[in-house]
Chain A
Amino acid sequence: MGVDFHIDYLQLLSPSGQLSDAAGEIARDAELLVWFHRAMTRARLFDAKAIALQRTGQLGTFASALGQEAIGVGVATAMERDDLLVPSYRDHAAQFIRGVTMTEILLYWGGDERGSDFASARADFPICVPVGTQVAHAVGAAYAFKLRKEERVAVSFIGDGGTGNGGFYEALNMAGAWRVPVVVVVNNNGWAISTPRALGSAAETLAQKAIAAGIEGLQVDGNDVLAVHQATHKAIEKARDGGGPTLIEALSYRLGDHTTADDATRYRDPEIVRAEWVREPVGRLRTLLVARGFWSKEQETALLKDCGEEVDRAVASYLATAAPSCDSMFDNLFATLPASMLRQRDEARHYAPTPGGRHD
């Protein structure tokens, strides 16, 4: 007995800004569409600023989400406040919508643990760097929600490269076996640092990895914020209603380097990247907004000014944050610092430099 499978692909807004009939209600919701545009623009301006800070020695390594803003925005806007985000490390567009501040994200990449102590979004997980490990956390969290009969859904991000990691397969399999309310979104941006998608897996789609786990898998155009939003919304509500997990492969493209520590010109033809710009998500949505009469040049200018000022305020707040004290290495290590460690803390205090310079 053989098994046939099929992977659906959803695109509502074409690269040229043409809307599909399947878009339905969402396409008439001017407020929501403008909100999408605003959120993607904020994320993109933040990104550019973070890179500039890193280049001038004011920030550590940073993972840009350039070109992938529609994934974070489409997913996070489909979540309810009480749902849970378990991010990877390229998901600040989603985190901003969840209530994580730009200053917090800058603190994190600036080498300060306080960036993971979100003032809002208190339950959301921090940025996850060890690739593939985070998906199991989302599965476990979803199990807790199910056990307590809470109507909450856990949403996790992973990259295309991460789907080759054992942690991903294990988590997906558990999600299926336990039928927990979890949605896993793959940001397939085409590159695992220097390794192109085709070298990372022989599978035709990454979404089909869901089939082996006994859960639903589908592809969306990850540069189409409407499609990402609609598909994720459907998956989240299905999970909330006890319908089980979903794996969504969002097809996008990494227009920037892997991180600021990477130089993609070593392994990738810049011409290909230039060609990929025609598919990028921000201009695509703006084309639609303008065509529908929802958006004007003046509004765009005002938006850029607003977002630019917001980013500048966040940067100022980040730069004005005093360096953490050496005690913070010992704080929150345990609920109570074991008495046996007090001597070590005293030693650290003894050798601590006088508080001062940010980046020694």
Chain B
Amino acid sequence: MTEITLVEAIDLALGHEMARDPTVVLLGEDIGVNGGVFRATNGLQARFGRERVIDAPLAEAGIAGAAIGMAAMGLKPVAEIQFSGFIYPAIDQMINHASRLRHRTCGRLTCPMVLRSPCGAGIHAPEHHSESPEAMFAHIPGLRVVMPSTPARAYGLLLAAIRDPDPVVFLEPTRLYRLFREEVVDDGEALPLDACFVSREGRDATVVTWGASHAEVMNAAETLTNRSVEIEVVDLATLKPYDSETILKSVEKTGRCVIVHEAPRTAGLGAEIAAEVAERALYSLLAPVTRVTGYDVVVPLSRLEKQYMPSVERIVGAVLKSMEAA
């Protein structure tokens, strides 16, 4: 069995699905000969040809809009946005069309497309390359939003996203693209789009996270073990709609909940999860629900990005503080 990186897992899933389903097409900037700027589509144009792996002009709104047209007419487009800061022109198409085509035509037309985009900070990238826009997309009714945290989850979730009959925004943390390798079996097995992953079981506190922060939370878990605190790590993975049952079950067990995400704090998904826990598991709580997040600032250029992203130290600090209560 081979161990591969997260970006290789994306490539693998795309290749698997293109071979299995001739209606799958890819479009995006530099995804052909170049294999994508992060190499997520490496080798796919050579394998499947220029008609199915389309080097699009530099036009994000157009790419998303064309994907909608393709999807409505029987193709399964997987569109790539090159960098997270370039995704915003596509939001018009995603809000006004992709998310509501099924609803407004009473199911006559549908939009089985995937909008893939890198996201997040931590690779010393230039300006507008480090955004975490998941909450903006999660706020759009009719869209699914997914963010994997490991190569195997990326593979299985991307297959699920492509096969899903509705539009999915699939956000890939660039910091994880080559951070570590993991065994991935190319068996074409999709993972569910309506379930969290419990990455680690623990009795003392539940830490809910997703994307790149998952790596820091897993490291924090090791540090906390040395201090006799065992956290349960829940990888949200499918951010919208999300699996609140797994979170609530865990919080009922541990009595504590810390939410960790890289995106800014205010109106972030942490607020949504905290509200859900307060509404449905308040009486299980031994301590206030707390958040460790990016600050409400413009994601800084590379010199300060480490101080922006939730660090192991901050996560450990938040969990220990939670343990002090009650």
Contact = CB atoms under 8 A, between A and B. Distances in A.
Given A129-B128, A193-B34, A161 B303 contact: no
Interface string A118-137: 00000000010111100000
Contacts of B85: 129-130
A5 interface: no
Interface string A139-161: 00000000000000000000001
B57 A111 contact: no
Contacts of B296: 341, 344
Contacts of B300: 113, 328-329
A329 B126 contact: no
A178 interface: no
Interface string B255-271: 00000000001000000
B295 A161 contact: no
A111 B303 contact: yes
B124 A60 contact: yes
Contacts, number: 122
Interface in B274-326: 295-298, 300-308, 311, 313-314, 317
Contacts of B179: none
Interface stretch (A41-49, A71-79, A94-102, A345-353): A345-353
B33 A329 contact: no
A14 interface: no
A166 B303 contact: no
B136 interface: no
Contacts of A110: 302-303
Contacts of A60: 124-126, 301-302
B295 A329 contact: yes
A192 interface: yes
B73 interface: no
B127 interface: yes
* Best-buried of B58, B125, B129 by chain A (most CB within 10 Å): B58
Nearest to A109: B126
Interface residues of A, number: 48
A201 B56 CA distance: 10
A166 B314 CA distance: 42
Contacts of A333: 297-298
Per DSSP, are chain B's interface residues mostly helix, strand or loop, or mixed? loop
A193 B306 CA distance: 28
Contact of B295 (A108, A266, A348, A353): A348
* Best-buried of B34, B88, B265, B301 by chain A (most CB within 10 Å): B301
A351 B314 contact: yes
Contacts of B33: 194, 266-267
Interface in A164-220: 164-167, 192-195, 199-201
Contacts of A348: 295, 307
A129 B126 contact: yes
Contacts of A111: 124, 301-305
A9 B265 CA distance: 53
Contact of B303 (A112, A130, A167, A330): A112
Contacts of B30: 192-195
B230 interface: no
Given A111-B303, A130-B128, A164-B58, 4 more contacts: A89-B126, A108-B127, A344-B295, A348-B307
Please provide the 3 A-B residue pairs with the shortest distance between their CB atoms, ordered closest to farther: A111-B302, A164-B57, A194-B34
15 contacts: A113-B301, A127-B127, A130-B128, A131-B58, A165-B59, A166-B89, A167-B89, A192-B58, A199-B55, A267-B33, A324-B303, A326-B307, A328-B304, A341-B296, A351-B317
Interface of A: 60-61, 89, 108-113, 127, 129-132, 161-162, 164-167, 192-195, 199-201, 259, 261-262, 266-267, 323-324, 326, 328-330, 333, 341, 344-345, 347-348, 351-353, 360
